Amino acid sequence: MTKTIYGNIIKSKTNNDVSQFLNSKPVFSIYNPENEAENFCKIITHSEKNFFVTTGMAQAYHIFALQKHFPDSKILILEKYIEDFYKNEFSKTYNKLKQNSNIIFSTVDTLEQDLIDNYLPATDGDFIYRSLRSWIAQNNDLEKIINTKINNALKIIKDDYSVQSHL
């Protein structure tokens, strides 16, 4: 049996696909997911180049909006299960995203190492963790784990950067 947190796909009022979680709650707005994604990107940052970590892919409205507003930034997309990136319903989205070398696919299990392997503060800019509220609400048992893994990875990165700077 394939592991997944996603269920059916419905249409929004603007006729866009919107995934539902297994409990039938929508991942994105059922009214206008593209407008919701634009609001998601209203981030106070002093840099055009950042390293974003965000939760959930599905139709990736929020990820495409981040790419539009921060084209030189890296974006790590976090899912609970690796299988959720490869679902047939998301194959077009996944294939489009994987063409961008600034996109990193990660799971909660691999998050810490993926951050260590991919985030270089000197070249990648500010670190910004921005989760989809719907994804965190669906996976609230993972929020503390995600924050712990992020903090552990950032400490390792900072310590390594400090050593390299000293040398």
Report pLDDT digits (tens) over 112-130: 999 999 999 999 999 999 9
pLDDT at 88: 84
Sign of torsion over alpha carbons 65, 69, 71, 73: negative
pLDDT at 44: 73
Q: Which are the contacts of 79, defined by CB distance < 8 A and separation ≥ 6?
A: 5, 55, 56, 57, 85, 105, 106, 107, 108
Q: Which two tokens stand for residue 36?
A: 């919701």
Which residue reads 């991942």 in tokens? 27
Q: What is the distance between the alpha carbons of residues 75 and 69, in angstroms, rounded to a whole number?
A: 12
Q: What is the distance between the alpha carbons of residues 165 and 144, in angstroms, rounded to a whole number?
A: 31
User: Looking at residues 104-108, what average pLDDT do you find?
Assistant: 98
pLDDT at 162: 53
